[in-house]
Amino acid sequence: MNILKITKADLDVDNYYIGATDVSQEYDGSIEIAAGLGCVKFKTLVKAKHSIIALRGTGIVAAAGIVAGWSIVAGEGIEAGWSIVAGDGINAGWGINAGWGIVAGWSVVAGWGINAGEGIEAGEGIVAGLGIEAGSGLGAGLNITATWIDVRLRIFAGLCLWRIPTEEETEITAELRGGTIAYGKLVAPAKPAVQS
């Protein structure tokens, strides 16, 4: 499998990608961005047939979208002016932010928050260390976990089509700040223990 390795030498002084390979067309393989580069920026779309991986200490920002046939993983954050789409999962050490939608065949996981101008959809679960915010709806094949959820329209948890989900797999564990639960069961997040 082809792997395009992006290093500091492929970036300009403002951390924009200036490498010889056009990543706005689908790269035939995976893209791996070196560790410790901070926020690596792309002026348009970044697209790979397989995975897009930013190692520890590196995040991805694309003015247009980020698209991978397999997974998108970043040690820091993932941000796109348009959509973030992965055939498998999307995982960020920090936050995930898209101007439009976020779609993952499997799960969406962020150490901080998940934010989309439109909808967020995952074939499996959605997990955020902080909040989840969407301009339209939120849908997950399995459960949804966050500190809080604020969406404009409807929320669905436990929509997996490959089997009947268990009751726990339809749980939405978060403070509900906005949105209507269309499918799934709201479970209050655990309160931190008070130490005396």
pLDDT tens readout for residues 90-119:
888 888 988 888 998 888 998 888 988 888
State both tokens at 189: 């997040």
pTM for the model: 0.87
Closest of 182, 194, 178, 72 to residue 135, by C-alpha: 178
List phi, psi (to 5°) of 135.
-70, -20
Chain segment 24-78, per-residue pLDDT in tens: 999 999 999 999 999 999 999 999 999 999 999 999 999 999 999 999 999 889 9
Q: Is 192 exposed, middle or buried (0-12, 13-18, 19+ CB in 10 A)?
A: exposed
Structure tokens belonging to residue 106: 């499997």
- Residues 6 or more apart whose Cβ sits within 8 Å of residue 184: 143, 144, 155, 156, 157, 158, 170, 171, 172
